[in-house]
Amino acid sequence: MEKIGVFICTSCNIGDRLEVSELEAAANEQGCAYCASMPFLCGKEGVSAIKSAIQEQGLDSVVICGCSQRVNYDVFDFGNVPVERVSLREGVVWSRWPTPKEGEELPEDESQIEVAEGVSFKDELMALAKDYVRMGVVKMQKYAPPEPYKPEEEISWKILVMGGGVAGLTAALEVAKAGYEAVIVEKENELGGFVAKMKKQLQVGAPYRELEEPVVKKLIAEVEGNDKIQVITGATVEKIAGAPGFFDITLKKGGGEDQLRVGAIVVATGWKPYDASKLEEPYGYGKYPDVVTNVQFEEMLAKGELKRPSDGSPVKSVAFIQCAGQRDPEHLPYCSSVCCLVSLKQAKLLREMDEEAKAYIFYKDMRTMGIYENFYQSLQNDPGVFLTKAEVQSIAQGDDGRMVVEVSQTLLGEDMAVPVDLVVLATGMVPTTADDPIIPLEYRQGPGFPELELFYGYADSNYICFPYETRRTGIYSAGCVHQPMGIMQAMEDATGAALKAIQCLKAIQAGHAVHPRTWDFAYPEFNFKRCTQCKRCTEECPFGALDDDPNGTPMPNPTRCRRCGTCFGACPERVINFKDYNIDMVSSMLKACEMPEPDYGLFRMIAFVCENDALPALDMAAYHRANFPLSIRFIPVRCLGAVNVAWVRDAMSGGWDGVLMLGCKYGENYQCHFVKGSELANRRMENVAETLQQLALESERVVLHVVAIDEYDKVPKLLQEFQESMEAIGESPFKGW
C-alpha cells in the first residue's frame, strides 16, 4: 500500500510507559503517509478521527498501534481500507516488566533501571515498541488487497446426499427446507437405512422414557413428497471429480452410468455391524445358535417371533452382553455409544411381549447418552430387568440345552452363572468408511478421507472446533459414518451437515475461504515459471486442494483450499504467495527491526506465532500481566505450517539470536485448525537444521513448541527458558553484518 496512516493509542498504559513521540518518529521514518496519536482510539472520537484522516489524507490503509488484533476488530473496520494492528498493549506494556534481582528494590522510573551496560529498561522497552511499529508499517507496505476468487464455471447449488437412512433423509430435507435442491443416492433399493428395520425406536424428545414408531417412515414420506429432493435408489457413487461448487459425480445404477453435477456433498452412508464371527471366544457366537447379535435380535423383535434359533422353543429369558467386542483392543477399541440403550430398548420390548420374561443386562459401564438417562431409569424400575456390571467369563451350553452365562466382577459381589434361553451380544458399529473410501475422489491425494485411523475409521475431524468438517472441503459427514450415535443425534448431525454444505456454496459464491478462515478472500497464487515440480505442496496440502499435471506442476483448486498456507510454507522456491501474506512481507518485517551492534549485551529473538491458538494464549497471559522477556518479538502467522524456512534463514543471517515457533499440538488429538500445520512445521525442522548448518550456527537456535490456547499460564516460563537457552549459546555471530 502507498498511503499508510499510523494511529497510536495512548490509553491502556501505552502512554504511561512508552514515549509516544518516539513511536511516531519510527512510523514516519518507516515511510507512513500520516501519523497521529490520541487516547481511546477505540472510542467514538478515536474512530471518527481515523475516518476523517482517511478521508482528508486520502489514506489507502491504516495501522492501528494499540491493542491486539484479537480485540476491537469490529471497531477498527473501515470498509475497503485495510487495517493492520500493532499490539502495543498485549505485546508490550501489559507483558514486559522489570524484574528485580533478589533483595533489590527497583526505582519507579523505568529509565533508571539498567538491564545491560548503558542500557535502561526503558530503552529496551522502547526498542521493542518501535520494532513493532516499524513491522506494522512494513507489513502494510507489502500488502496488496486480496480479490475474491471468482470461478469461471457456474456454481451448482445442488447438494448430493450419499445414503438414504435417517441422517441422509434429514440432511436432504434440511437442504430442501433451506430452499436448495438435494439428490439422495442410496445403494439399497429402498430408503430408510437401518432404522427402517427396527420394531420401535427410542423417543426422540421429552420425556425420553418411551418407545415410538421408527421416525424413518415419516421422513421417507416427507422426502418423497418434496419436489426439491431427487431420490436415486439402487445406485452407487463411482467417481467424484472437480471441486466444491462443481463436483462431477458419476453414478452407477443397474448396468448403466449416469452423470451428475453438484456443489457440495453430505456423506451419510452410516454403519455396519461389527463382524460377530470374530467373537467366537469368549462369546460363543457361531458356536451356539442361541447366541445372536443385537442386530439379529432386533430382526426377531421386528418379526414378533421370539423363538430360540436352536429348537424353536419360546424365549423366556435373555442375557444381553454389552460391549461384546467393543472397548476392546482386540476388536473395536471404542464405545459405539448406542448399544446400552439398544439393549435396554430390546429388554423393554421383550418384557412387553411377555411379562414373565427376564432380561439380564451385563455391562462394563451403563452409558446412556444425554437425557436418555430417563429411559435407563424407567427400565431399571422394571422388576424383570436385572442389571449388573460384569465381566463375561464364558458363554456355554448347559446340560438342559439352555445357555449359561458365567460372569465375574459383578455388583452382587460374587461370580454368577446365569442360565438363559438366548444370549444377545451388543456388538458395535463400524463406520462404512472403515474399509471403503466411500467418496471415490479423483484427487491427486487419492479417494477417501485421509488419516481416518485417528478416528477409528469414522469420517470425523477435530470435532471440538469443527464438527461436520472433513479433510475434503465441500464434503461433510453426518450420522453414524461421522461418529457412533443414536437416531436423535444423527438427525441433529444431518441438519448441521446440510447447513454446512449450503454455507460452503455461499462462501464460494462470495469468493472467500469456506472454513475456518471464512472471512479470507486471499488465496495462494503460484508463480509457475519458477516452480521446480518438487511436489511438496501437492503432497503436503492437508485438504488435497492441489492436483498436478503429468509433469508434476501443481494445479490449484481454490474452492478446495482453506488458506492455511501449508503449501506456502512448503515451497522451497518461494513461488507460492498470498496477496496479504508473502515471503517478502515477513522478510522485510524482520529487516525493519533495529538490530543492535555486536556485544550489545542483550539479545534479539523472533517468534512465529500461530494466530489461532498460540497468539490468544499470549494475549491471555498479557491480561494476567505475565512477564515475557524483553528481547522476544512476535509475528502472528496463519498457521505454523505457513512458516517458510526462508524466513528462518533471513532471520538467522540478519543477526537474530534465535527463532521460536509456537504452534498447536499435533499427532493424535491434534489441535491444529488445519490438521497438519504444526506437524509439518515440526517435520521441516530438519530443513531448518540444514540451513543452520550452512550458516555454521547451532541448531538449538531454532525451537518449536506446542501451546494450547488455554496454556497461557505456561507461556511465560516457556519464553523465559527459550531466552536462557539462547544466552547459554551466546550472541549470534551474524550481528553487525
We find the least distance from the C-beta atom of residue 423 to another protein, in angstroms, to be: 15
Query: CB under 8 A: which stretch of 35-43, 401-409, 499-507, 527-535 binds another protein?
Result: 401-409
Cα 722 from Cα 75, distance rounded (Å): 35
We find the least distance from the C-beta atom of residue 187 to another protein, in angstroms, to be: 43
Closer residue to another protein, CB minimum distance, 31 or 401: 401
**How many other CB atoms sit within 10 Å of the CB of residue 283?**
23
Tell me: does residue 401 bind another protein (CB under 8 A): no
We find the least distance from the C-beta atom of residue 381 to another protein, in angstroms, to be: 5
We find the least distance from the C-beta atom of residue 393 to another protein, in angstroms, to be: 8
Tell me: does residue 73 bind another protein (CB under 8 A): no
- DSSP structural state of residue 628: -
- H/E segment holding residue 722: helix 715-729
Tell me: does residue 408 bind another protein (CB under 8 A): yes
Tell me: does residue 340 bind another protein (CB under 8 A): no
- DSSP structural state of residue 520: -
Q: Which of 25, 106, 211, 416 binds another protein (CB under 8 A)?
A: 416
Nearest partner of 396 among 414, 411, 415, 418, judged by Cα: 418
- DSSP structural state of residue 560: T
Closer residue to another protein, CB minimum distance, 273 or 419: 419
We find the least distance from the C-beta atom of residue 403 to another protein, in angstroms, to be: 13
Binding mask 347-366 for another protein (x = CB under 8 A): ---------x-x--------
Closer residue to another protein, CB minimum distance, 306 or 675: 306
Q: Which of 221, 412, 555, 708 binds another protein (CB under 8 A)?
A: 412
Cα 512 from Cα 523, distance rounded (Å): 8
**How many other CB atoms sit within 10 Å of the CB of residue 628?**
24
Cα 619 from Cα 662, distance rounded (Å): 13
Report the phi/psi class of residue 489: left, alpha or beta, with left for phi > 0 and alpha for psi in -120 to 50: alpha
Tell me: does residue 407 bind another protein (CB under 8 A): yes
Q: Which of 129, 418, 480, 697 binds another protein (CB under 8 A)?
A: 418
Query: CB under 8 A: which stretch of 36-44, 142-150, 374-382, 517-525 binds another protein?
Result: 374-382
Closer residue to another protein, CB minimum distance, 219 or 357: 357
Cα 520 from Cα 527, distance rounded (Å): 21
Closer residue to another protein, CB minimum distance, 120 or 388: 388
Q: Would you say how long the chain is, in residues?
A: 737
We find the least distance from the C-beta atom of residue 316 to another protein, in angstroms, to be: 10
Closer residue to another protein, CB minimum distance, 319 or 567: 319
We find the least distance from the C-beta atom of residue 210 to another protein, in angstroms, to be: 18
| Cα–Cα separations (whole angstroms), residue 60 to 3, 586, 613, 704 | 5, 21, 30, 37
Closer residue to another protein, CB minimum distance, 411 or 696: 411
Closer residue to another protein, CB minimum distance, 407 or 439: 407
We find the least distance from the C-beta atom of residue 467 to another protein, in angstroms, to be: 32
In sequence order, the β-bridge partners of residue 119 are: 116
Residue matched to cell numbers 456454496? 505
Tell me: does residue 434 bind another protein (CB under 8 A): no
C-alpha cell read off for 375: 429411559
We find the least distance from the C-beta atom of residue 710 to another protein, in angstroms, to be: 32
Tell me: does residue 694 bind another protein (CB under 8 A): no
Contacts of 248 (CB under 8 A, 6+ apart): 239, 240, 241, 242, 259, 260, 261
We find the least distance from the C-beta atom of residue 414 to another protein, in angstroms, to be: 7
Q: Which of 309, 384, 437, 447 binds another protein (CB under 8 A)?
A: 384
Cα 132 from Cα 126, distance rounded (Å): 10
Tell me: does residue 374 bind another protein (CB under 8 A): no
Q: Which of 382, 436, 548, 727 binds another protein (CB under 8 A)?
A: 382
| Residue pair 475/453 in contact by the 8 Å Cβ criterion | no
Tell me: does residue 689 bind another protein (CB under 8 A): no
Tell me: does residue 400 bind another protein (CB under 8 A): no
Cα 632 from Cα 258, distance rounded (Å): 60
CA angle, residues 119, 125, 5, in degrees to nearest 5: 130
Determine phi and psi for 189, rounding to 5 degrees. -85, -15
- Contacts with another protein by CB under 8 A: the residue count is 26
We find the least distance from the C-beta atom of residue 346 to another protein, in angstroms, to be: 18
Tell me: does residue 207 bind another protein (CB under 8 A): no
We find the least distance from the C-beta atom of residue 410 to another protein, in angstroms, to be: 9
Query: CB under 8 A: which stretch of 209-217, 404-412, 554-562, 725-733 binds another protein?
Result: 404-412
| Residue pair 514/520 in contact by the 8 Å Cβ criterion | no
β-strand pairing of 658-663 with 605-610: parallel
Cα 634 from Cα 652, distance rounded (Å): 15
We find the least distance from the C-beta atom of residue 411 to another protein, in angstroms, to be: 5
Nearest partner of 556 among 571, 567, 570, 572, judged by Cα: 567
Q: Which of 11, 233, 393, 687 binds another protein (CB under 8 A)?
A: 393
C-alpha cell read off for 217: 417412515
Tell me: does residue 688 bind another protein (CB under 8 A): no
Cα 631 from Cα 656, distance rounded (Å): 10
Tell me: does residue 380 bind another protein (CB under 8 A): yes
Closer residue to another protein, CB minimum distance, 116 or 416: 416
We find the least distance from the C-beta atom of residue 506 to another protein, in angstroms, to be: 48
Burial 549-584 (b: 16+ CB within 10 A, else e): eeeeebebbbbbbbbbbbbbbbbeebbbbbebbbbe
Helix, strand, or coil (residue 553): coil
Binding residues among 516-545 for another protein as defined by CB under 8 A: none
| Residue pair 240/441 in contact by the 8 Å Cβ criterion | yes
We find the least distance from the C-beta atom of residue 382 to another protein, in angstroms, to be: 7
Tell me: does residue 411 bind another protein (CB under 8 A): yes
Query: CB under 8 A: which stretch of 43-51, 127-135, 381-389, 624-632 binds another protein?
Result: 381-389
Closer residue to another protein, CB minimum distance, 253 or 389: 389
Closer residue to another protein, CB minimum distance, 115 or 357: 357
Tell me: does residue 456 bind another protein (CB under 8 A): no
| Residue pair 53/34 in contact by the 8 Å Cβ criterion | yes
Nearest partner of 344 among 211, 195, 198, judged by Cα: 211
Helix/strand/coil percentages in the chain, nearest 5? 30, 25, 45
We find the least distance from the C-beta atom of residue 317 to another protein, in angstroms, to be: 9
Tell me: does residue 419 bind another protein (CB under 8 A): yes
Query: CB under 8 A: which stretch of 403-411, 433-441, 468-476, 600-608 binds another protein?
Result: 403-411
Tell me: does residue 399 bind another protein (CB under 8 A): no
Closer residue to another protein, CB minimum distance, 221 or 412: 412
C-alpha cell read off for 262: 453438484
Burial 438-467 (b: 16+ CB within 10 A, else e): bbbbebbbeebbbebebbbbbbbbbeeeeb
Tell me: does residue 145 bind another protein (CB under 8 A): no
We find the least distance from the C-beta atom of residue 428 to another protein, in angstroms, to be: 24
Cα 270 from Cα 481, distance rounded (Å): 5
**How many other CB atoms sit within 10 Å of the CB of residue 292?**
22
Residues engaged in binding another protein (CB under 8 A): 356, 358, 377, 380-388, 393, 404, 406-408, 411-419
